[in-house]
Structure 1
């Protein structure tokens, strides 16, 4: 067949008009090319219909993006057409450059689905389906931006979880593990955080106004090394909390109960501690540069801040 010869293909009942050059030029080793190439590796063309079009028993829906790809080298697919379906047809016809492209595209789509944040309903379903005596693990789970307000998360493992921008206001997070969790700009207003383990968690810019951290049994909430830079902790009950070497730069800690809290080595630069109760708090080695300490409930003794 001459390369500029026009031919018709009947694919699944739909007629396509194209040239030999289109079928051969981009993928000379494909099944379509070998049907019309006159050499030793060629194939016999299929039978023709009454209009002279070569009959190919495949899906027209998925063939159209393939013929267009052979024409201009770009993969264009309507939203209602399955990429997986096109991939199977590309494999059948031996369009291997397109196969590679589609496999990468499908892999990206699957990755996006895997990384999709869980919704409120998905989280509630997981909680409902888990026995009260069974430990529920959300370790490493993506919950970014989820509305989780007023839910009961007691004893759940959120280690390494992405909870940035989550609405966790009025939630019960007692005895949870938040170690190295990402809670940037999350809303935890009025949350219960008794005996939480939050070592090195990232709570930068989070709203923790009116939270309760104090365990009446005396077990300390552990927030050692946590990043609370620019966070709001105003009016929170943080008695006995371990904030050793925490970053509290520019944090709002007005009117907080910090009795017996451990702030040794913490960075409190420009932190607003006005009206807070720091009785028996450990501030040894803490950076108090430009910190606001007005209207303290109890006097701050030098021994609390000296190594």
Structure 2
């Protein structure tokens, strides 16, 4: 039984005819040429493949005289359209899978949208796996992609909003830039003398790594509630922390050089390795503070001013104490540091008075004995 083939001039299928498949492809070309009134040099499948041998033609197969365009063939296949919308991005060596509609929908006039919009598609560089190459930071691009997906700005604690803002500016995402500028301005330390709040300090902590020194030199924290916060390695040099609540805060290796800690509450705080050179802690409360460090790191409290210090049961064997100014009504019960100078002076004076009293008693006893012997001799 001879095979048949459905021949159309183009993919619109407006004009077609069924032809028998001859033994030679040249005979088939000649028959089709007589029908369409033009010379035919090739036949193509729906996928654009050229037919060169009649043996590969299947019975009742649809063939075209002109080669189909890929866009036309893809329009006839809804599943292919959905697959075509998905792309892979190689951002700084890290791959992201997303849809083109995600990159275009929120900011259609942005540079990122025009890079992948079909009307303004750029000639993007593609790697061997077919992913589009973008020489940007993957850490910040992940935040941008999340925003384009669900219209919400979500930044992890280890991501700096300033970096995301620079990426948003590069891609021309205006709506995201407004949100990031507000966020950066909100968490940026103030340059005036207005005291910083607990929320502002937490915001600064979230955008900086724990092992990096955060500079709060000369800043105003007067009356701020910083209790139970992890404030390790922070530079508080010349800062104003008067009346600040630092209860049970982690102040490991912080610098309070020449800082104002008057009437600050540091009860139960971890002050291992702190530097408090020439710091003013008049009227401060340091009950239950921990100065001990098993690694041998010592707290430097040279010329620390501790007037009316309240420091009951502090663990302080790891302190370097030189030329402390300690006076007033300091409550030094069970305080085993050189802060007991006043008590030592009192004990010394008491011992001296006691010795003088004993010597007087001995002198009086000798006088009485001599008087008794004189009377006996008479």
TM-score by length of 1: 0.49
Higher-RCO chain (CA-CA 8 Å, sequence separation at least 6): 1
The structure having more radius of gyration, on CA atoms, is 2
More helix by proportion, 1 or 2?
A: 2
TM-score by length of 2: 0.40
